[in-house]
Amino acid sequence: MGILNLTPDSFSDGGQFNNEKSALEHAEKLLKEGAEIIDIGPQSTRPKAEYLSAEDEIKRIGNMISLTKKEFPEVLISLDTFYSETVKFGFNEGIDIVNDISGGQFDENMFDAVAKTKLPYILMHVNPSYETMHDKIKFADITLSVNQYFSEKTNELLERGVNDIILDPGFGFGKTVEDQMKMINEVGFLGFGKFPLLIGISRKSFIYKPLGKSPLEINEETQQLHMKVLQQGAKILRVHDVAEAKKILDEFLNKSL
């Protein structure tokens, strides 16, 4: 899954792709490098980012979904939003997957909206509100806590008829460095083996801050961690650097043959 931020304020690539021409060029680059899914994000969720309404998100997306679909009909498009109204808009524009960082907690209508679309849904573990999503919590046992959350939320989704669920443990959201490294080592225990697991660690601070590096200087360390989570059963890598992640994925698949 290649990341396409339409934001002026994302922490590592803000403002690079927030017009149609540059966004389409970046989508083409991601696909040529091996992306099978493009994750379109109209709103930055970094700490202290600008907060957008659903109406603002929809304006920012504009024609990007339909243009990307027209230009690259083979690609799957996921829409990164926590608003039910943006999901409805995206569905009409042709998205294939809903990627909701909030687990339905920031908009009470989200799960019902997803159920109506019958699209696959990415369920992420996160603190219960927009205001607290980056508050660091020290969990008694991060793996048990994330699995309890997944259990409760997947039951809610299944009751509504949402059956295609992808789980995202929420690296970079309200977790200590220690807990995130523990999750890396225990990926194989997350999600009960019932649902595919998405891992999004690209340019995350729990990797670069302890090393005293910038988000753009941790490619080698990130790919080592990608290999580790693939070996434990992760199915989707959400990344900025598709070409580098694809090398690791190909290496993993060759070793598995």
Catalytic residue numbers, as ranges: 204, 238
Q: Phi, psi (5° rounding) for residue 71?
A: -75, -35
Closest alpha carbon to 38 in 64, 10, 11: 64
C-beta separation of 33 from 50 below 8 A: no
How far is it, in rounded angstroms, from Cα 14 to Cα 67?
21
For residue 236, what are the β-bridge partners? 198
- The amino acid at residue 121 is Y
Angle value at C-alpha 239, between 203 and 162, nearest 5 degrees: 120
Per DSSP (E only), the strands in the chain are: 2-5, 37-41, 76-80, 97-100, 121-124, 165-168, 198-199, 236-237
Residues in the chain: 257
Angle value at C-alpha 222, between 169 and 125, nearest 5 degrees: 10
- The amino acid at residue 103 is G
How far is it, in rounded angstroms, from Cα 138 to Cα 169?
15
- Where residue 104 falls (left for φ over 0; alpha for ψ -120 to 50; beta otherwise) is left
C-beta separation of 173 from 208 below 8 A: no
Instruction: Identify the DSSP state of 197.
Output: B
